[in-house]
Each structure stands twice: as C-alpha cells, then as structure tokens.
Amino acid sequence: MISNLPKHVGIIMDGNGRWANMRGLPRIEGHKRGAERTRDIINASLDIGIEVLTLYAFSIENWERPEDEVSVLMDLLYSYLSEEIIDMLKEGIKFRMIGDRERLPSHIQKLIEEAERITAGGDRMTLVTALSYGAKDEILRTVRKIIKMGIPEEEIDEAVFESLLDTHGLPPVDLIIRTSGEKRLSNFLLWQGAYAELYFTDTLWPDFTREEFISAIQDYQRRERRFGRVLTDSRFYK
C-alpha cells in the first residue's frame, strides 16, 4: 500500500490511433491494445488502493469521427464491458458511467445500466467511465436541471451544483494523467478537476505501463498542494 494516495485519479487515455499508425496497423488495433492496457491500470489502481478511477473513454467530440470507426468503437465497448462485469463484481469494483448516455446505442445503454446495478455493492474501488462525455456538456445539462427543478437563485451554491453533476457523490479529482504527449484537458472534468495535479507523458496509451502509472502516483506524492493558498509555518494562508 502506498501512503498519501490521491483519492480520485482521472486518465485521458490518448494515443491509440497513433500507436496503430506508427506500426502500419488499422486504428482499431490500437483501440484493442488500449483496452488491454486499461485492464492493467485498473488492476494497478486496485492493488495500491485508489478509491476512484475515472477513464476518459469516448468524448462528445468523438461522435464526429468517421461513422465506421465510431461503430467499431461501440462494438469494442460492448464486448469489453460484457467481459468485465463479472470480474468487476468479483474484485469489488463499483462501475459507474458519466456522460450523455442517451446518445449511446440502446443495447449499450442497457448493458451499462446492468453493470451499474450488478456492481452497486462494490466497496474496493469505483471505476468511472466517461462515455459520450464532455465537461462543458455536463455543466450545461446541470444548469438545465437547476432551471427545470426551479431551484431559487439564492439557494444555488457549489454544493447544490455538484449534487447535480454526473459525478455527484464522488470526491474531487486529485490527479489527472494524460498520455501521448498532448498537454491539454480536452473538455475532461473541468469542474471536478479545478485543483487537480496534472501529469503529462509522451507515452502512447497502449504503451502506458503499470510501472509508469506508479511513477505518476509517486510524482503526485512529491507535490505540495496549495489549492490557491500559500503554505507558511505548516499553515495555509490565502
């Protein structure tokens, strides 16, 4: 067990397509290899005691990709989740999806609902998959909920807003990891990650090993988190 762990880690799993292109393979092969890597990182998170792991699997913007690629990604998602449900149950993993699930194919929506129901009692780790997700879309949907519920303006604060986000009930993101060399958040957990530590690596997602994941956690542990304040004489000052 590693001490001083981030409670909530988010990962932008980037680089599957480039990994395949560099090897002269179809892009789908990169996505398949990326799915295999996902299993490794989930297991590593379990082993070291991460409470919440959020994986950015399919963004709102990804719907704009070629139709055949989107179709293959949906098939891969269905296959992966179908295979993993029983293992998640055995390992004590609680599965949860964030994003606009209404845009997903109906058979995938049903499978996600089933996975959430079956694993609801998981108490070792919560695995959050961001599908059809965009942080700006999530925030807009939350604003619409507030309007629809008729919540008075004077009652709207951060706690109320957070209770209506897709991630309600989850802790803020402590660490966001992005693979593939890109240094941006790409519309991922903008509210929840307001004070997250960021870790960027040139490694493409299919090559992102358990060892590098542990290194990212250790890098986080060496940082001094101030949350916009100054640390002096062991006390925080604004």
Distance CA 126, CA 122 (A): 7
What is the DSSP pairing of strand 125-133 with strand 235-237? unpaired
DSSP letter string, 196-214:
-EEEE-SS-GGG--HHHHH
Distance CA 218, CA 192 (A): 22
Name which of 46, 58, 51 is nearest 84 in CA terms: 46
**Residues 54 and 172: beta-carbon distance below 8 Å:** no
**Residues 56 and 127: beta-carbon distance below 8 Å:** no
Residue 62 annotated in active site = yes
Name which of 181, 178, 89 is nearest 127 in CA terms: 89
Residue 87 annotated in active site = no
**Which residue in the list 16, 21, 47, 62 is annotated as catalytic?**
62
Q: Which residues sit opposite 176 in a β-bridge?
A: 10, 198
Distance CA 57, CA 131 (A): 6
Residues in CB range of 63: below 8 A, 6 or more apart: 70, 103, 132
Q: Cα separations (Å) of 191 from 4, 137, 140, 149, 215?
A: 23, 11, 12, 21, 26
**Which residue in the list 14, 137, 166, 174 is annotated as catalytic?**
14
Catalytic residues: 14, 62
